[in-house]
């Protein structure tokens, strides 16, 4: 369980599975439809059912089969930190924890236990979040949601609303966990607190205070529970392949008898009335660069999602791009990374925010931004500038069919509407058509009106995040800000000069885009084609050694994803020469390809919707690309030439290198600061190698050799050496074959394979390493890194997955539930294929320094027990269920990105597709003895590395 300060975000989605009514009887059907007809229901769209029971409890039910392998259940209670009295701080969050302890409807067996038995995991499949204004309980089934499952889930939700036991033993146990959570909770940013103004929100975090948590009693918690956990303050949301009428019947059975215990419990949930013109500066060494936030707070109005509302949102999106383009052109040396955002923040406040990195003193930056807002407020946007941005905005609009709308998207919309956050039902229509219509009617006055509102607002607020290393003397004040605005008010600001309006792309206009020509080639058909019916996958093998995996998937767009994988990267290059080749791809891409120069190539790509990017890591070569269906032939032509016929541009290369050398003098810090703890853990996980860096000195930049890079690039990409391509999306296999045969099938054959070398040695690293932070820390971060070897087969991959789940379950149960020493231990698995097949497991948790030695000893003991003790049959069954859920979720998936990731993972580990079809049988046949033997054989606990960060 976690608490959050922000609006609940969209959820990652997989699939739902078709409902089976094996428990449904004729009597139940009659009851369902009879009770359904009596419910107070309102049909908001074709399949959404929204209803309200007599006690005020609300429900939203949506039948949706996209994705196919997921059913979402959410319970929302309008009880959060803002509803607490001064002596009740943290009560809403504490109740969230207590909800998972069970209630009167689950006396013999806890509902959460049944979720674990089904293979579901805390945090991934069921969780909760406590905010200022509400608490949300979520259960996401990656499997079929039978009527029995629905009935049990609603009973669990009903227990949360009216039936929690709140016994003293459970409260005492949970106090330890919540207090530990408070100690390791991340600090709330000063910027977030600034946005709360001087409202009540600023002085109460959902986690509460240590004193209030320690003083919780059954009676005091019960009073808060009775006051706020009432049906009139709650709603349930269900999205999946369910029949709404039957789900309504089950909801009524569980919730209609629950009575409201109290009425008229209200608090002031407003923030807007506490906002005023203000300014604050936060100086910290955690900031990599200084950033300015200029924002306006608005009183949020509850509104339907009409065309006018959508029109305003589009205008603000474009206004941000207009300001960015203007400041880039007029003040490029003074403003960097300007961005405008507009939307709901919290409670009754919307914020319009302009953020940027000031390159000069903040006063000048603010002056330049406000000057342009004032200019637009006076004169609007010139026609040629308006048309430029309208055309650009059209490119961001993509058509999405309603049939492919994600279940998580629906849940988000319904939550927003229930929580009165401008939830949208209007956009269930074909929103791309609506947006095109709106864009065709947007004019200069739209921008003039919105800019005038910004200029006239009396809630303009300033916040600076200033890096401690920033040499800028920030003496800007609220008084100076008011004086500056008053001065701009009096200034005679002229319309935008024609110089900007005339500024065009550096490319010369041509009547036709440049054409890419390909040498004459003959169709090279695949040597073999094998179809795997259970997976819907076709595997092609070509004479040049290339493998192609095709997975047609019905998705929400016509986009086709293409991913290329091949072993061999920069690991064969010594540390001393690594800098020579590290930036090969960006330097080579300064030139053209085939018959096109770099300028011709830019013109050629100007009207193409496909994208192709190459990458070389230490152990692998990758190609990531996507294309719409109507540009398939041009895409494969481009991919073929980009692989086989790159051209270098020595002049542009020299210019870029000289710019890099000049920048060395000004470079004071890296773009991002990674903690030494994370760096060390990444090194132990074989993801980071400290002796391998790009060019960092003048001498190294001067030694870069474009010709050598080009040779390396050709060796990596200009052949079919060990390449595998995975292609997923909306396509027909037969229509795809000509492009594959003409282009991928004709990639040159090359026996000069790129070999990988090991870059990691256990002996180089201490068994246990302690890293001290420069700043004082009240928590300690700890990571155990374990190593194992395996032969890459589907069976061994399943065994690794079972091992991961077993370790996660034992660690979480021991550290969190038994000892209450850590709040969020997690276990992460990474499989490595190169240079030899192996896997790395990280066990990570945070705790207070006084408990670190005991926590490490307990974790070490857990690992030793796993090696020494046999596994119980019941425990293995839980882990098998979890692995089966994950597999079934993918196999029944209709999302190109999920399939892409799954196939990439399998093929990267050399797993055979024919074995994937046997996955259920292989999983079922694995015994507890086999799993235990695999763990003892593969997991080398003696080589475990421990990193502690104080």
Task: Write out pLDDT tens, residues 75-91.
Answer: 999 999 999 999 999 99
Are 136 and 129 within 8 A, CB to CB? yes
The candidate with the shortest Cα–Cα distance to 807, out of 856, 859, 857, 761, is: 859
pLDDT band (50, 70, 90) for residue 373: very high
The per-residue pLDDT of the chain, averaged, comes to 84
pLDDT of residue 753: 82
Q: Give start and end residues of each alpha helix (H) in 672-753.
A: 676-684, 698-703, 706-717, 733-742
Distance of CA 59 to the CA centre of its chain: 28
Handedness of CA 213, 215, 218, 223 (dihedral sign): negative
The residue that leads in pLDDT, 148 or 890, is 148
Domains, the chain, ranges and CATH?
2-241 (3.30.830.10), 272-502 (3.30.830.10), 528-665+674-746 (3.30.830.10), 765-949 (3.30.830.10)
pLDDT of residue 419: 85
**How far is the C-alpha of 278 from the C-alpha of 462, rounded, in Å?**
6
**Dihedral (C-alpha) 181, 182, 186, 189: value to the nearest 10 degrees?**
150
pLDDT of residue 502: 42
**How far is the C-alpha of 606 from the C-alpha of 611, rounded, in Å?**
11
Task: Write out pLDDT tens, residues 387-402.
Answer: 888 877 775 555 444 4
Handedness of CA 208, 213, 214, 216 (dihedral sign): positive
The residue that leads in pLDDT, 335 or 771, is 771
674 Cβ partners below 8 Å, 6+ apart?
A: none
Q: What are phi and psi of 795, to 5 degrees?
A: -60, -45
Place of tokens 């994705």: 67
Is pLDDT at 41 greater than 60 in this prediction? no
Task: Write out pLDDT tens, residues 673-723.
Answer: 568 899 999 999 999 999 999 999 999 999 999 999 999 999 999 999 899
Helix, strand, coil % (nearest 5) of the chain? 45, 20, 35
560 Cβ partners below 8 Å, 6+ apart?
A: 626, 627, 628, 629, 632, 727, 728, 729, 730, 731, 896
Most confident of 95-99, 335-339, 607-611: 95-99
User: What is the CA angle 822-823-826, rounded to 5?
Assistant: 90
Coil, strand or helix: which one is 9?
Answer: coil
Q: What are phi and psi of 701, to 5 degrees?
A: -60, -40
592 Cβ partners below 8 Å, 6+ apart?
A: 598, 599, 600, 601, 647, 649
pLDDT band (50, 70, 90) for residue 131: very high
pLDDT band (50, 70, 90) for residue 781: very high
pLDDT band (50, 70, 90) for residue 418: confident
Task: Write out pLDDT tens, residues 921-943.
Answer: 999 999 999 999 999 999 999 99
Q: What is the pTM of this model?
A: 0.82
Average pLDDT over residues 90-111: 88
pLDDT of residue 701: 95
> In whole angstroms, how far apart are CA 133 and each of 32, 77, 213, 361, 880?
34, 9, 19, 39, 39
The CB density around residue 464, as the number of other CB atoms within 10 Å, is 22
Average pLDDT over residues 249-268: 88
Task: Write out pLDDT tens, residues 142-195.
Answer: 877 889 999 999 999 999 999 998 999 999 989 988 998 888 887 889 999 999
Coil, strand or helix: which one is 544?
Answer: coil
The candidate with the shortest Cα–Cα distance to 593, out of 676, 483, 686, 518, is: 518
Most confident of 61-65, 433-437, 502-506, 552-556: 61-65
The CB density around residue 381, as the number of other CB atoms within 10 Å, is 26
Is pLDDT at 531 greater than 70 in this prediction? yes
Per-position b or e across 476-502, b if 16+ CB within 10 A of its CB: beeeebeebbeebeeeeeeebeeeeee
String of DSSP letters for 412-437: HHHHHHHTTS---SGGGTTHHHHHHH
Are 130 and 93 within 8 A, CB to CB? yes
Are 631 and 609 within 8 A, CB to CB? yes
Coil, strand or helix: which one is 343?
Answer: strand
Average pLDDT over residues 200-206: 91
Is pLDDT at 2 greater than 50 in this prediction? no
């Amino acid at each position: 369980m976690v608490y959050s300060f922000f609006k609940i975000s969209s959820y990652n989605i997989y699939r739902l599975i078709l409902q089976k009514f094996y428990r449904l009887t004729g009597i139940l059907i009659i009851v369902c439809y009879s009770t359904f007809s009596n419910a107070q229901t309102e049909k908001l769209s074709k399949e959404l059912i929204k209803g309200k029971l007599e006690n005020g409890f609300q429900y939203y039910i949506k039948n949706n089969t996209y994705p196919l392998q997921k059913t979402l259940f959410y319970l929302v209670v309008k009880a959060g930190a803002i509803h607490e009295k001064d002596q009740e701080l943290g009560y809403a969050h504490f109740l969230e924890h207590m909800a998972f302890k069970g209630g009167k409807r689950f006396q013999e067996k806890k509902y959460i236990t049944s979720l674990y038995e089904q293979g579901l995991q805390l945090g991934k499949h069921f969780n909760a979040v406590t905010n200022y204004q509400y608490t949300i309980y979520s259960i996401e089934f990656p499997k079929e949601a039978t009527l029995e499952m629905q009935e049990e889930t609603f009973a669990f939700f009903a227990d949360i609303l009216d039936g929690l036991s709140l016994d003293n033993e459970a409260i005492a146990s949970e106090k330890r966990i919540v207090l530990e959570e408070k100690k390791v909770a991340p600090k709330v940013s000063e910027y977030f607190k600034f946005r709360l103004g001087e409202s009540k929100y600023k002085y109460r975090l959902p986690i509460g205070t240590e004193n209030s948590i320690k003083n919780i009693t059954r009676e005091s918690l019960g009073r808060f529970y009775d006051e706020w956990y009432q049906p009139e303050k709650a709603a349930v949301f269900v999205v999946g392949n369910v029949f709404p009428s039957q789900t309504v019947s089950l909801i009524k059975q569980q919730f209609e008898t629950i009575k409201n215990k109290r009425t008229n419990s209200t608090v002031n949930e407003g923030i807007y009335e506490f906002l005023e013109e203000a300014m604050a500066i936060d100086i910290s060494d955690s900031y990599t660069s200084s950033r300015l936030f200029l924002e306006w707070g608005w009183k949020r109005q509850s509104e339907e999602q009409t065309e006018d509302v959508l029109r305003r949102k589009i205008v603000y999106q474009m206004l941000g791009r207009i300001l960015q383009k203007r400041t880039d052109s007029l003040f490029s040396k003074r403003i960097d990374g300007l961005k405008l955002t507009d939307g709901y923040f919290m409670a009754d406040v919307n914020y319009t925010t302009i953020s940027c990195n000031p390159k000069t003193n903040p006063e000048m930056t603010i002056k330049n931004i406000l000057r342009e807002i004032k200019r637009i407020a006076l004169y609007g946007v010139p026609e040629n500038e308006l048309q430029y941005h309208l055309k650009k905005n059209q490119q961001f609009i993509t058509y999405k069919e309603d049939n492919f709308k994600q279940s998580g998207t629906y849940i988000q919309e319904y939550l927003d509407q229930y929580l009165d956050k401008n939830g949208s039902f209007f956009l269930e229509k074909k929103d791309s058509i609506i947006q095109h219509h709106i864009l065709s009617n947007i004019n200069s006055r739209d921008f003039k009106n919105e800019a005038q509102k910004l200029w006239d607002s009396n809630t303009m607020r300033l916040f600076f995040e200033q890096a401690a290393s920033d040499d800028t003397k920030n003496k800007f004040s609220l008084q100076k800000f008011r004086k500056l605005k008053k001065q701009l008010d009096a200034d005679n600001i002229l319309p935008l000069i024609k110089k900007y309006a005339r500024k065009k792309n550096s490319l010369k206009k041509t009547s036709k885009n440049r054409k890419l020509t390909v040498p004459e080639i003959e169709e090279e058909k695949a040597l073999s084609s094998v179809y795997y019916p259970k997976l819907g996958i076709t595997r092609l093998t070509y004479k040049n050694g290339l493998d192609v995996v095709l997975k047609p998937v019905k998705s929400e767009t016509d986009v086709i994803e293409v991913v290329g994988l091949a072993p061999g990267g920069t690991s064969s290059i010594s540390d001393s020469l690594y800098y020579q080749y590290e930036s090969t791809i960006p330097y080579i891409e300064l030139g053209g390809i085939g018959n096109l120069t770099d300028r011709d190539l830019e013109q050629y790509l100007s009207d193409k919707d496909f994208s192709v990017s190459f990458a070389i890591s230490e152990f692998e070569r990758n190609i990531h690309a996507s294309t719409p269906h109507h540009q398939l032939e041009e895409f494969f032509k481009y991919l073929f030439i980009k692989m086989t016929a790159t051209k270098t541009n020595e002049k542009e290369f020299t210019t870029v290198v000289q710019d890099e050398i000049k920048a060395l003098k000004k470079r004071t810090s890296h773009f991002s600061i990674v903690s030494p703890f994370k760096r060390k853990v990444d090194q132990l996980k074989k993801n980071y190698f400290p002796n391998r860096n790009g060019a960092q000195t003048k001498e190294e930049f001067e030694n870069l050799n474009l010709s050598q890079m080009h040779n390396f690039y050709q060796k990596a990409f200009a052949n079919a050496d060990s390449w595998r391509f995975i292609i997923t999306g909306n396509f027909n296999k037969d229509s795809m074959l000509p492009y594959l045969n003409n282009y991928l099938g004709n990639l040159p054959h090359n026996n000069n394979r790129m070999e990988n070398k090991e870059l990691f040695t256990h002996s180089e690293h201490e068994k246990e390493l302690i890293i001290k932070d420069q700043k004082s820390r009240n928590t300690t971060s700890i990571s155990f890194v374990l190593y194992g070897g395996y032969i890459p087969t589907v069976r061994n991959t399943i065994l690794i997955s079972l091992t991961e789940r077993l370790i996660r379950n034992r660690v979480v149960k021991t550290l969190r539930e038994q000892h209450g020493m850590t709040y969020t231990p997690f276990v992460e698995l990474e499989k490595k294929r190169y240079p030899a097949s192996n896997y790395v497991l990280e066990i990570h948790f945070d705790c207070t320094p006084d408990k670190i030695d005991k926590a490490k000893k307990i974790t070490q003991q857990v690992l030793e027990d796993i090696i020494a003790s046999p596994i119980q049959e019941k425990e293995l069954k839980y882990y098998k269920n979890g692995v089966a859920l994950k597999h079934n979720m993918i196999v029944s998936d209709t999302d190109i990105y999920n399939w892409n990731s799954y196939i990439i993972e399998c093929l990267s580990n050399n797993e055979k597709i024919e074995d994937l079809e046997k996955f259920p049988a292989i999983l079922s046949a694995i015994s507890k003895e086999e799993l235990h033997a695999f763990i003892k054989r593969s997991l080398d606990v003696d080589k475990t590395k421990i990193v502690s960060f104080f």
